[in-house]
Amino acid sequence: MSSLLEVTGLRKLFPAGHGGKLHAVDEVDFDLAGGESLGVIGESGSGKSTIARLIARLADPTAGRIRFEGRDIGAIPSRKFAGDVARKSIQLVFQSAGDSLNPAYSAARNIVVGFGSIRLNSESREWASSLAGEVGLAPELLDRRPHQLSGGQQARVGIARALACEPRLLILDEPTAPLDVSVQATVLKLIDGIRRKRRLSLMFVSHDLDVVRLMCDRVMVLYLGRVAEIGPVGEVLSAPRHPYTRALIASAPGSAAPTQLPGEATSPIAPPTNACLFASRCGNAAPECALRRPQLVEVGPDHRAACLRL
């Protein structure tokens, strides 16, 4: 299966105090095939949302390549990407749909913004109605403004707006996190159905391991901006090879014996380049872990992990 998206050596550094640099994303490599769904998990501050914004070209990488359909779109400045041919092919659905919708526009007008129209006419209204039907939004809600809609209805408008561009890659950044559990299940089922119908590729950023297990083919585990483990979702979440992945699963709500990681995390500001970033919190660390940074190695078919103790 050919890759729709290929990311190589992706880095994003932010200025920090006293001339330092915060390493939000550090040497990340992954790919995504057409029609595939990749989950991205990790603690807060692991770089999940930053990667989503870099791929969607809402921010510029410090280094690395983002190849989409064979083109290095990472080399295009984000301020110029809005007019690029690939802009409509990559769409990002934000965590809080209500905050991303224009409060002065009706639901229909918010949807048609997705395909470049700011005015409603008979043609664009018909298109908005069609997309609303695809995401299960009742026709009578199209004239309401975002504040007149429930959280689940706002999420549907956000998804419809993204679909208006006929994207090939849909990036979802915690799209159901603010919603009630029952509404989450309905929206997730909707997203999965649309993905299969349209053969979309998905990048699904989430902190919920059960959601990732349900929605994704593969999963990428991030720790302090680096890939700790990546592979088939069933294998990674049922037989994790990296100690951080094991700790993440053990600390998830609903685990048999929830645990918290010991120690303090390494600072993402000027992190050591010659040590494992997880060593200070790892119960299985060896002396060599403080002397050498691990690289991703094959631990199974299409399954890689970055640990010196493998």
Torsion of CA 48, 262, 176, 198, to 10 degrees: 50
**Distant-in-sequence contacts of 56-61, Cβ < 8 A, 24+ apart:** 56/90, 56/91, 56/92, 56/171, 57/81, 57/84, 57/87, 57/90, 58/92, 59/12, 61/10, 61/11, 61/12, 61/25
pTM summary value: 0.93
Measured CA distances, 84 to 60, 81, 111 (Å): 15, 5, 20
pLDDT tens-digit readout, 63-79: 999 999 999 999 999 99
Domains of the chain: which residue ranges?
3-305
CATH architecture of the region 3-305: 3-Layer(aba) Sandwich (3.40)
Over the chain (310 residues), what is each successive 10-residue block's mean pLDDT?
A: 90 90 96 97 94 96 97 94 90 84 93 74 86 94 95 93 93 87 90 94 94 96 97 97 94 66 84 93 92 95 96
- For residue 50, count CB atoms less than 10 angstroms from its CB and return exposed for 0-12, middle for 13-18, buried for 19 or more: buried
| pLDDT at position 1 | 56
- What is the predicted pLDDT for the residue at 234? 96
- Of the CA atoms within 13 Å of residue 72, those in its CB half-sphere come to 8
pLDDT for the residue 270: 87
